[in-house]
Chain A
Amino acid sequence: MEFDLEFALETVGPLLMAFLQVTLVVTVAGSVIASLLGLIWAVGQRELPTPIRLPLTWVLDVIRMTPLPLQLLFAVAIFISFDGYRKFPDTDVETIGMILGVAVFAIHYSTYMAESYRAGIESIRPGQWEAATALSLPRARVWRAVIIPQALRATLPSLGNWAIAMFKDTPFLLVILVPEMVAKAKQLGGASYQYTEVFTVAGLIFLAASYPTAVLMRKLEKKLVY
């Protein structure tokens, strides 16, 4: 079994295309939404009255502890049960798959990010809360002007790390047939039976994108936290 370098180089183009068009889009859109949702969950878990807070906490726990592929299938099943494909006849199937994918990834990872935000919020010294109370700032202003800016410093690196984790989970989109990079690689490999080449290229693209980002996050962490 030889490594066909020529074929490997040929597959770089299409795989990179799929990477840019799907993998990257899902990760970026997913992490932006997830970081906003995560903040909402984290603040909600401190502000909401107990009867709302407890079910929210439980739901977040269940989302955190159940697999992404199952959640992706669930999202598609809901979409079909609402007769979604017929309601949006102009949108093609791949775009719908991607939108569902972004939604599921965002919700799933927002539960992790909520934990990171919580860690950041807990790291703020009680004196800050007391000072805000002493100034009789309205609650919303306390969060916006005092707590969140300080909490974010400790939280940001962790958020970045979850975004990298999300990036590495994008191949799960395979189960809902979104043509992301690994799906594309599998298809190309299946057509030629040269799996070694395509998966090597796919793996290298992942490595090339995620390793520098991880190093960057580590640097950012040193700068922000210590």
Chain B
Amino acid sequence: MSDFLQAVSDYSPYLWEGAQVTLALSGGGAVVALVVSVLLGLCAISPIAVLRVGSRIIVEFFRGTSLVVQLFFLFYVFPLFGIDLPGMWCGIVGLGLNYGAYGSEVVRGSLNAVAKVQWESTTALSMSWSMAVRRVIWPQAWGLMLPGLNNLMVMLVKGTAVALLIGLHDLTYWVEVMRKDADVGLWIAYGVGFLLYYLVALGCSSGLRLLERRAQRRLGLAPSKTRTTRATAEAVA
């Protein structure tokens, strides 16, 4: 146990540095992903055909090609066209677009899951499309989509480890350094790594879980893990 504490305290500045990169990628990626998923999700149910088709193509493109390929495009190919993003921005944009595409499926699914009568009643009240979505549909879909977005958030936190591939010194990098340089043994080095990632993911997930409870209480729904798992699997495919 003392070995463990010693190793952690010796390497804590580096681990903190790595954790900052991981947190920045998770936070930035989550913000971009949320914006992308809301935009694409709304486009997917809009009455304008061009927007629907466009969003479909974008979503299938980002879900079909792998995250790593997309990241390499941002990191290796874009500079050839004169767009030279720093590694951190590549990571944030790449993660955001990729998980945003998955997220948009969750958003679309939830918007579609709102009862048809709700749409009909907005027509009866002669609301415009944007007003109907803003005032009636979205507030109800929000509670439905949070569990799915929560699972994606955990996947995004794990996805931040791709940073390693574009030379960012994130948590994974420093755990590997700690394993190689310090005489701490691999179980301790990786144990710390797994624990830190677990805590970051758990933190994000519990935060969203709170939001979800609040939203579902306001809708009078009970959370269901079963539905969530399946919805996420669908979005990921």
Contact = CB atoms under 8 A, between A and B. Distances in A.
Interface stretch (A44-52, A91-99, A132-140, A161-169): A161-169
A170 B66 contact: yes
Given A62-B194, A65-B202, A160 B237 contact: yes
Interface centre among A1, A118, A165, A218 (most CB of B within 10 A): A165
B192 to A, nearest CB: 11
B65 A206 contact: yes
B78 to A, nearest CB: 9
Contacts of B171: 70
Nearest to A65: B201
Contacts of A68: 158, 161
Contacts of B73: 199, 203
B76 A158 contact: no
B154 interface: yes
B53 interface: no
Nearest to A158: B233
Interface of B: 60-61, 63-70, 72-73, 76-77, 80-81, 154, 157-162, 164-165, 171-172, 175-176, 179, 186, 190, 193-194, 197-198, 201-202, 205, 225-227, 229-230, 233-234, 236-237
Contacts of A158: 229-230, 233-234
A196 B65 contact: no
B190 A70 contact: yes
A222 to B, nearest CB: 12
How many chain A residues sit at the interface, stated as a range, is: 35 or more
Nearest to A209: B64
Given A77-B186, A116-B233, A175 B165 contact: yes
A196 B69 CA distance: 11
A216 B205 CA distance: 31
Contact of A66 (B66, B165, B194, B234): B194
Given A74-B190, A81-B186, 13 more contacts: A65-B201, A65-B205, A66-B194, A68-B158, A69-B172, A73-B172, A74-B186, A119-B227, A162-B236, A171-B68, A185-B69, A203-B69, A210-B64
B193 A70 contact: yes
B69 A165 contact: no
Interface in A83-130: 112, 115-116, 118-119, 122-123
A18 interface: no
A182 B70 CA distance: 11
A28 interface: no
Nearest to B68: A171
A171 B66 contact: yes
A73 B76 contact: no
B165 A165 contact: no
Given A158-B230, A161-B233, A66 B69 contact: no
Interface centre among B60, B161, B164 (most CB of A within 10 A): B161
B229 A70 contact: no
Contacts of A204: 65
A116 B65 contact: no
Contacts of B164: 69, 175
B72 A217 contact: no
B64 A70 contact: no
